């Protein structure tokens, strides 16, 4: 991977944060509709439909994600994996877990499992990219 300036890394992570906030906003708007027996499946469907995260929840990964937002996530992870994961936690998964718990739902395990799947897929994607260099 070529040397990347701190400014370029900062822009990529700022864009990732904006996209993550957008996903969080969509999930929070839909959250009242999730208060049903099928919550787990509905929540996963919404995350799979997300152009930022959906690629990383599929059984097969693409070398280059189709979605521009997923590409930004992958690029941010290549630049600074720890920071990219932190952005996802802060902007999507931690608020989602808190909102579910506040509404009396006990699906935080599902949120944690989904986060782990995305983190593992990103790890594999970054490892493959580095191995090709």
The predicted-structure confidence for 21-39, as pLDDT tens digits, reads as follows: 999 998 888 776 555 656 6
Please determine, for residue 131, whether its predicted confidence score (pLDDT) is greater than 70.
no
How many angstroms separate the first and last alpha carbons of the chain? 6
Q: What is the DSSP track for 70-124?
A: HHHHHHHHHH-HHHHHHHHIIIIIHHHHHHHHHTT--THHHHHHHHHHHHHHHHH
Mention every residue, 6+ apart, whose C-beta is less than 8 A from residue 93.
111, 112, 114, 115
pTM of the full structure: 0.83
Q: How many CB atoms lie within 10 A of CB 4?
A: 13
Q: What percent of the chain has pLDDT over 70?
A: 80
- Tell me the mean pLDDT in the region 70-85: 93
Confidence (pLDDT) at 2: 61
* Tokens linked to 118: 């995305």
pLDDT(77) > 90: yes
């Amino acid at each position: 991977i070529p040397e990347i300036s701190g400014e370029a890394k900062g822009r990529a992570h700022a864009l990732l944060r904006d996209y993550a906030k957008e996903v969080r906003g969509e999930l929070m708007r839909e959250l009242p509709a999730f208060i049903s027996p099928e919550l787990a499946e509905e929540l996963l469907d919404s995350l799979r439909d997300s152009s930022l995260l959906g690629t990383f929840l599929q059984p097969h990964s693409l070398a280059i994600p189709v979605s521009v937002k997923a590409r930004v996530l992958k690029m941010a992870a290549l630049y600074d994996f720890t920071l990219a994961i932190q952005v996802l936690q802060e902007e999507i998964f931690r608020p989602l877990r808190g909102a579910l718990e506040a509404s009396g739902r006990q699906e935080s395990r599902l949120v944690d499992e989904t986060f782990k799947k995305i983190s593992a897929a990103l790890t594999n994607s970054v490892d493959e990219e580095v191995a090709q260099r």
